[in-house]
RNA sequence: GGCCUCGUGGCGGAGUGGUGACGCAGCGGAUUGCAAAUCCGCGUACUCCGGUUCAAUUCCGGACGAGGCCUCCA
């Protein structure tokens, strides 16, 4: 970290305060985010989480260097919901084979979804099923240290064995009992005790273990995978707000009790939820949208939405605030994005032009200090974007190049934008052809042949090209620029 | 019932103990063959009630309101 870099501070759910971020090892900053359970398409709320932690990943890479950050996002591919889905979708198949089909297909879909949202690939994406042995090792340690017990064929974590259980969520087991619909199982010592390992029937997926053939509970996998790839104590652990309890609480209990450590991760970060048009997103309200649906169908607002537009809409609100996801918000995002891109395009900062840059080798500049400063304040993405608004009227090619680089840093790429535009442009794909028509119109105008001039303008408009005239401030000559409209 | 967030102009949303961030929309003007774009100007917002203070939207307390978690839902 150079001396000019602003201090990074992050809100820590554990302390309910914004704190300066101090990495355990600046040469290897380690973060973990709970990834998808791969049984169905990811919805736009899952997308928000991916974007938030992608932004953090990008910021950390900028501050500490791209080779000094490890980002682990797991794939949960063992889960009873997956089993149910596999049995439903592939009734003829052997269950394990059906499960593999479901998880592979869903994991691939997730990857393509979040890539469309501009998310970098995490450093490591471990699968739960590749880490069963590590989970068993953890469970064995918990039993040995008297934090877990076997009952009724299950292995359970004993909440009462950990004095500060509930610290993250600010609750203690007694509080929960009053209104909670916690099933009181006779075999549990405490109703809040949770499953580490459960038995599988012959048809269910299972692994041999000291406690019989079975499968892991939901929480243990993140404890196992984070330890394997990040160690017993790492820097940042993130996820959605709803994971605070019970998932993260239980992860902390498992990891700390198994290792005898005082902490699992130093900073716990949670992103807020999103609503859709003012209502909670739910299947029953009919306002439940998957990422793929927004990208590929016209279900939301009667049209498809580019991934970058969805990304910008998410970043317009601070990650801890609730977002009201609306068509109006997406339209505003698209307009902004278009304005920024066009500002860059106008100055064509590359030696040739962005068109050539599409195939080529442009190098981006480091992001603006103001941008990094805004994000360093607990990922204040809206403030960062308002900085872009202020630089969105570049007066020189170098300013335009800086704007392009800032956009690139935030995960918005000129390349994909122009690809999308090319598709929208229809017949005309050659910039020279457009320039020729613009010149022909200029000639017609010089001869006061407005009919011809307007015909050319109308033809271009049909191809999705809008022309705009302006006066050169120096010479008073007509200048015509064009842009792609959608 | 317990716990956690949050309440800023038509909208999205920063921020601050004392001159109304920024963007979108809107209004007025300049420019213009027309159109669009562009440029200039315009808003007097901080849920309510107390308290602290010379001064509160900002700090403290309370009320009201919204949302969330306590159900393997991000």
Query: What is the interface pTM, i.e. ipTM, of the complex?
Result: 0.90
What share of chain A has pLDDT > 90, as a percent?
46
Question: CA at A257, C1' at B63: how many angstroms apart?
Answer: 43
Our CA angle for A358, A53, A302, nearest 5°, is: 65
Residue with tokens 């932004």: A55
Report if CB A358 to strand B is under 7 Å: no
Q: What is the pLDDT of residue A30?
A: 97
Report if CB A240 to strand B is under 7 Å: yes
Band the pLDDT of A421: cuts 50, 70, 90: low
Question: CA at A322, C1' at B47: how many angstroms apart?
Answer: 19
Question: CA at A53, C1' at B28: how many angstroms apart?
Answer: 45
Question: CA at A322, C1' at B67: how many angstroms apart?
Answer: 8
Q: Which residue has the higher pLDDT, A335 or A376?
A: A376
Report if CB A195 to strand B is under 7 Å: yes
How many other C-beta atoms lie within 10 A of the C-beta of residue A148?
Answer: 23
Average pLDDT in the A417-438 region?
A: 65
Average pLDDT score over chain A: 85
Q: Which residue has the higher pLDDT, A154 or A354?
A: A154
Q: Which residue has the higher pLDDT, A234 or A201?
A: A234
Q: Which nucleotide is nearest to A80 (CA to C1')?
A: B72
Q: What is the pLDDT of residue A116?
A: 92
Contact between A436 and A460 under an 8 Å Cβ cutoff? The reply is no
Average pLDDT in the A78-96 region?
A: 88
Report if CB A362 to strand B is under 7 Å: no
User: Which residues 98-157 of A interface with strand B at a CB distance below 7 A?
Assistant: none
Q: What is the pLDDT of residue A141?
A: 96
Our CA angle for A363, A368, A369, nearest 5°, is: 140
Q: Which nucleotide is nearest to A380 (CA to C1')?
A: B14
How do the domains of chain A map onto residue ranges? Answer: 9-271, 274-424, 431-484
Tell whether the model's pLDDT for residue A473 goes beyond 50: yes
Q: What is the pLDDT of residue A357?
A: 47
The residues, any chain, with a CB within 8 Å of residue A221's CB and separated by 6 or more, are: A74, A76, A78, A128, A131, A135
State the DSSP string of A271-319: EPPEEETTEE--TTTT---BHHHHHH-STTTTS---HHHHHHHHHTS-T
State the DSSP string of A418-455: HHHHHHHHTT---HHHHHHHHHHHHHHHHTT-HHHHHH
Average pLDDT in the A475-482 region?
A: 76
Band the pLDDT of A477: cuts 50, 70, 90: confident
Band the pLDDT of A179: cuts 50, 70, 90: very low
Question: CA at A398, C1' at B6: how many angstroms apart?
Answer: 41
Segment among A348-352, A439-443, A452-456 with least mean pLDDT: A348-352
Report if CB A450 to strand B is under 7 Å: yes
Question: CA at A374, C1' at B55: how many angstroms apart?
Answer: 30
Contact between A408 and A414 under an 8 Å Cβ cutoff? The reply is yes
Q: Cα separation of A339 and A59, whole Å? A: 24
Average pLDDT in the A118-140 region?
A: 95
Tell whether the model's pLDDT for residue A429 goes beyond 60: no
Tell whether the model's pLDDT for residue A360 goes beyond 80: no
Q: Which residue has the higher pLDDT, A483 or A52?
A: A52
Q: Which residue has the higher pLDDT, A340 or A429?
A: A340
Architecture of domain A274-424: Orthogonal Bundle (1.10)
Average pLDDT in the A118-133 region?
A: 95
CA-CA distances (angstroms) from residue A123 to A28, A110, A115, A408, A423? Answer: 12, 16, 14, 19, 32
Nucleotides of B under 7 A from a protein CB: 1-6, 11-15, 21-25, 31-39, 67-74
Alpha carbons within 13 angstroms on the beta-carbon side of residue A358 total: 13
Q: What is the pLDDT of residue A351?
A: 34
What share of chain A has pLDDT > 70, as a percent?
87
Band the pLDDT of A178: cuts 50, 70, 90: very low
Per the rule left: phi > 0, alpha: psi between -120 and 50, beta: everything else, A125 is beta
CA-CA distances (angstroms) from residue A189 to A118, A132, A431, A476? Answer: 47, 26, 73, 86
Contact between A42 and A288 under an 8 Å Cβ cutoff? The reply is no
Nearest Cα to A467, choosing from A457, A452, A477?
A: A457
Residues A132-153 have pLDDT tens digits of 999 999 999 999 999 999 988 8
Band the pLDDT of A424: cuts 50, 70, 90: low
Average pLDDT in the A356-384 region?
A: 80
Specify which of A207-211, A361-365, A388-392 reaches the highest per-range mean pLDDT: A207-211
Q: What is the pLDDT of residue A251?
A: 95
Go through chain A and tell me how many residues it has: 486
Dihedral pair phi/psi, residue A335, rounded to 5°: -60, -40
Tell whether the model's pLDDT for residue A91 goes beyond 60: yes
Q: Which residue has the higher pLDDT, A223 or A419?
A: A223
Our CA angle for A122, A233, A236, nearest 5°, is: 45
Report if CB A84 to strand B is under 7 Å: no
Tell whether the model's pLDDT for residue A5 goes beyond 80: no
Report if CB A394 to strand B is under 7 Å: no
Q: What is the pLDDT of residue A350?
A: 40
Fold that domain A9-271 belongs to in CATH: Rossmann fold (3.40.50)
Average pLDDT in the A397-412 region?
A: 84
């Amino acid at each position: 970290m150079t001396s000019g870099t602003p201090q990074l501070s992050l809100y820590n759910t554990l302390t309910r305060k914004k704190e300066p971020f101090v990495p355990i090892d600046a040469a290897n900053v380690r973060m973990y985010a709970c990834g998808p359970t791969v049984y169905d398409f990811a919805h736009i709320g899952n997308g928000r989480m991916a974007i938030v932690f992608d932004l953090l990943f990008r910021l950390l890479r900028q501050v500490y260097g791209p080779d000094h950050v490890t980002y682990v996002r797991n794939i949960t591919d063992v889960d009873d919901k997956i089993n149910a889905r596999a049995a439903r979708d592939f009734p003829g198949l052997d269950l394990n084979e059906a499960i593999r089909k479901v998880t592979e297909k869903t994991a691939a879909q997730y990857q393509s979804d979040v890539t469309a949202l501009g998310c970098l690939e995490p450093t490591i994406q471990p699968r739960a099923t590749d880490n069963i042995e590590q989970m068993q090792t953890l469970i064995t340690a918990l039993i040995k240290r008297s934090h877990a017990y076997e009952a009724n064929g299950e292995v359970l974590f004993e909440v009462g064995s950990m004095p500060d259980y509930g610290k993250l969520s600010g609750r203690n087991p007694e509080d929960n009992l009053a209104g909670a619909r916690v099933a009181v199982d006779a075999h549990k010592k405490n109703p809040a005790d949770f499953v580490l390992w459960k038995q599988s029937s012959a048809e269910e997926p299972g692994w041999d273990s000291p406690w019989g053939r079975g499968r892991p509970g939901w929480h243990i996998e993140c404890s196992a995978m984070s330890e394997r790839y990040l160690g017993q104590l790492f820097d940042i652990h993130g996820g959605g707000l709803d994971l605070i309890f019970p998932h993260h609480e239980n992860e902390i209990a498992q990891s700390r009790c198994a290792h005898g450590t005082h902490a699992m991760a130093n900073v716990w970060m949670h992103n807020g939820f999103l609503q859709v048009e003012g209502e909670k997103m739910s299947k029953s309200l009919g306002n439940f949208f998957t990422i793929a649906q927004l990208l590929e169908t016209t279900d939301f607002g009667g049209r498809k939405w580019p991934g970058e537009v969805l990304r910008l809409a998410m970043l317009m609100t601070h990650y801890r605030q609730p977002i009201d996801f609306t068509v109006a918000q997406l339209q505003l995002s698209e307009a902004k994005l278009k304005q920024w891109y066009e500002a860059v395009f106008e100055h064509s900062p590359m030696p040739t032009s962005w068109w050539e840059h599409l195939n080529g080798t442009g190098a981006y500049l480091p992001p603006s200090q103001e941008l990094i400063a805004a994000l360093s304040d607990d990922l204040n993405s809206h403030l960062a974007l308002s900085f872009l608004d202020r630089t969105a009227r570049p007066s020189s090619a170098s300013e335009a190049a800086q704007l392009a680089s800032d956009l690139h840093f935030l995960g918005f790429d000129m390349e994909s934008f122009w690809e999308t535009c090319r598709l929208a442009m229809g017949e005309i794909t050659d910039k020279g052809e457009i320039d020729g028509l613009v010149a022909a119109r200029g000639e017609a105008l010089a001869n006061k042949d407005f009919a011809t001039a307007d015909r050319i303008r109308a033809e271009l408009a049909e191809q999705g090209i809008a022309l705009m005239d302006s006066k050169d401030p120096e010479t008073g000559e007509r200048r015509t620029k064009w842009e792609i409209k959608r």
